[in-house]
Structure 1
Amino acid sequence: MKKISILVPEDAVLASIDDPRMMFAGVNEFLLASGREPMFQIELVGMTSSVALHGGRFTVHTDRLLHEVERTDLIFIPALIGDMQEALQKNAQMLPWLREQYAKGAELVSLCIGAFLLASTGLLNGKKCSTHWRSANDFRIMFPEIDLVDDTIITEEQGLYTSGGANSYWNLLVYLVEKMAGRPMAITAAKVYAIEIERKSQSPFIMFNGQKGHSDEPVRLAQEFIEKNVGDKISVEELATRFAIGRRNFERRFKKATNNTPIEYIQRVKIEAAKKGLENGRKNVSEVMYEVGYADTKSFRSIFKKITGLSPADYRNKYNKEAIL
């Protein structure tokens, strides 16, 4: 029987503690119902015997304290809430325990912005990681040595798993069920919990908000210029000249400050504006395309799909109520 330890950190999101418990307890129930033995022993593990969450509105009682767990197979790290620096300080005691258990063979799973706690162990350095797209900029600043892939729902590398934002971690839970209990059980779990199986990207949900938490003033001004002139055709050469920086130096500084090349940034700003145009009102795809400065339908559709994972028409049909009528 596999041992599953679900961490109960300070400042954790309650749902991301109970959801993995419910998923794997559910798998045990499905197995029993089919005449088989349960596969998982599930425990809540914390630094104290009870942890108050969400401003004291809820209290979670743990089954074991960290030092009482000698060895486990799978550890879930739930999402955290509030100021990440403060949350990490409150839970610093968990870091050596996580490193110790990983060294003993345990696999570690972060859900949503639980990735900040997993990243703080140092185990993700040089590896791919996902987290909620809203936290991507802060994550890159705090952990530049980690390869953040914020459009991806699931990453797996050397026994370390991470998931995208919010409820997308259910896809990681189903993925782990399939890995441990087989495809038929994963399909059963997906159907019982109404999860869209095989969803791999959180791109359709991302709202682009350019990284401006840097100290490169000309780059910040260039970002603002791009955002204020979304309907214009803007070249990298024009931007470099406008802010009196050589093109190669401008591109290097822009990439370093924003984690996007200037071309990528221009595309993402235009596509974000296009998304808003498609979400609201009765404008068709061509009208929105022209408003954000594209004249080539094929190019617009290609870039839109690359960034959002959907075609412009599919995106409009998905998010615009008037398009459905």
Structure 2
Amino acid sequence: MKHVTVIVSQWQTNLSAIVGIHEVFSKANHHWKSKGKREPLKVEFARVGSAKQVSFSDGLFMVKPERHISAIMKTDLIIIPSISPRFKTNDKDNKFLLQWINDQFENGAEVASICSGAFLLASTGLLDGKRCSTHWGLADEFKARFPKVNLERDRLITDESGIYTNGGAYSFLNLLIYLVEKFYDRATAIHCAKVLQVEIERMSQSPFSIFNGQKSHGDDVVEKAQNYIESKITEKISTADLATKFSLGRRNFDRRFIRATGNTPLAYTQRVKIEAAKRLFENSRKNINEVMYSVGYSDTKAFREVFRKITGMSPIDYRSKYNKAIASI
């Protein structure tokens, strides 16, 4: 039997992930035993720090972990639920936790982070040079704090060298189903997905992301360029025109823009236009061509390709899924 350790600390922000972990693995174990097999995983909730219980929702809920992580000498899988990105790495308890995770990983344990739990995982250094996902709303902050990590902001689940990460909020259920398939089998994963009504094998969080341009970079010229792009949704804007408008050489403008926003000027412009298109699909009765023209595209094929690349869905599928008025017809 393998051992799973779920970290519970005062920095936890989401009770649902802790409950969800318990529910998913309990369902998996029950299904496994119903087939006459010995359950493969034992899940234990371990606390960090001296507090013997952790409160959530202003004290409405309390979690009482079974024991302190210092009492766990060997584990096979560590799960880090979502935490506040503001947690202090130099805090005594957290320093111990980061070292404990590193030691366990060196001894063969695998590690999974849920949503903003990636901030704690990245603080161990184990994600340096590896792929990682986190909540799309925290992507810019994560990228700024952990430049050595290969953040894949649209990816729902990453799996590399015994380290798993996932996107935001309730998508942790997709990661848990993924782990059930890894540690149990495909049939058990499908069973859990059906019982809990989780869409299996969803690998992108693109349809759920809301693009908000990164503007806390401190480069005034780039911010002016961003504002200009956002004010000209209906127009075609080239990188060369932007560079000229802001009195910079093309290569210098490109470098500054990428350094400040994490996107090329072209990619930024595409994301701004597609975000506007998404809002039109959600809130108006405009057809595909009308939306396309409204955001400055005249080539249907190009619009569809860019839309799918950014959202993971075709324009017509997105419109059908998110526009209540259209879906009810």
- TM-score normalized by the length of structure 1: 0.97
C-alpha distance 51-312 of structure 1, shift in aligned 2 (>3 A): same
Matched, 1:64 2:67: yes
Q: 1:159 aligns with which of 143, 146, 162?
A: 162
For residue 57 of structure 1, report the CA deviation from its aligned partner: 2.4
- Equivalent residue number for residue 226 of structure 2: 223
- Whether the 8 Å CA contact 1:153–1:169 is kept in 2: the answer is no
- Equivalent residue number for residue 294 of structure 2: 291
Matched, 1:126 2:122: no
* Counterpart Cα distance in 1 of 2:96 and 2:232: 49
- Equivalent residue number for residue 258 of structure 2: 255
For residue 250 of structure 1, report the CA deviation from its aligned partner: 0.1
- Equivalent residue number for residue 135 of structure 1: 138
* Counterpart Cα distance in 2 of 1:58 and 1:323: 40
Residue aligned with 1:112, SS: coil
Which aligned pairs between 1:260-275 and structure 2 lie closer than 5 A?
Answer: 260-275=263-278
For residue 87 of structure 1, report the CA deviation from its aligned partner: 5.6
Residue aligned with 2:306, SS: helix
In structure 2, what residue type is equivalent to 1:58? Answer: F
Which aligned pairs between 1:164-179 and structure 2 lie closer than 5 A?
Answer: 164-179=167-182
For residue 92 of structure 1, report the CA deviation from its aligned partner: 3.8
- Whether the 8 Å CA contact 1:25–1:40 is kept in 2: the answer is no
- Whether the 8 Å CA contact 2:11–2:87 is kept in 1: the answer is no
For residue 18 of structure 1, report the CA deviation from its aligned partner: 1.7
- Per-residue CA shift, 1:183-217, capped at 9, x if unaligned? 11111111111111111101111111111110111
In structure 1, what residue type is equivalent to 2:43? Answer: I
Which aligned pairs between 1:1-325 and structure 2 lie closer than 5 A?
Answer: 1-12=1-12, 13-47=14-48, 48=50, 49-81=52-84, 84-86=85-87, 88=89, 91-324=94-327, 325=329
For residue 89 of structure 1, report the CA deviation from its aligned partner: 5.4
- Whether the 8 Å CA contact 1:155–1:163 is kept in 2: the answer is yes
In structure 2, what residue type is equivalent to 1:25? Answer: S
- Per-residue CA shift, 1:197-246, capped at 9, x if unaligned? 11110111111111111011100100000001111111111111111110
In structure 2, what residue type is equivalent to 1:6? Answer: V
For residue 17 of structure 1, report the CA deviation from its aligned partner: 1.4
- Per-residue CA shift, 1:261-294, capped at 9, x if unaligned? 0000000000000000111121111111101000
C-alpha distance 172-86 of structure 1, shift in aligned 2 (>3 A): closer
C-alpha distance 254-281 of structure 1, shift in aligned 2 (>3 A): same
* Counterpart Cα distance in 1 of 2:105 and 2:323: 46
For residue 85 of structure 1, report the CA deviation from its aligned partner: 2.2
- Per-residue CA shift, 1:149-197, capped at 9, x if unaligned? 0100110111110001111121111111111111111111111111111
Unaligned runs of 5+ in 1: none
* Counterpart Cα distance in 2 of 1:9 and 1:297: 51
- Whether the 8 Å CA contact 2:283–2:323 is kept in 1: the answer is yes
In structure 2, what residue type is equivalent to 1:15? Answer: S
For residue 109 of structure 1, report the CA deviation from its aligned partner: 0.4
- Whether the 8 Å CA contact 1:201–1:309 is kept in 2: the answer is yes
Residue aligned with 1:293, SS: coil
Residue aligned with 2:74, SS: coil
Residues 164-173 or 127-136, more deviating? 164-173
Percent pairwise identity: 49
In structure 1, what residue type is equivalent to 2:28? Answer: V
- Whether the 8 Å CA contact 2:80–2:117 is kept in 1: the answer is yes
* Counterpart Cα distance in 1 of 2:56 and 2:284: 41
* Counterpart Cα distance in 2 of 1:22 and 1:93: 28
Residue aligned with 1:35, SS: coil
- Whether the 8 Å CA contact 1:6–1:21 is kept in 2: the answer is no
- Count of residues paired in the alignment: 323
* Counterpart Cα distance in 2 of 1:286 and 1:252: 34
* Counterpart Cα distance in 2 of 1:143 and 1:54: 29
Aligned structure 1 segments of 4 or more residues deviating by more than 4 angstroms: 87-90
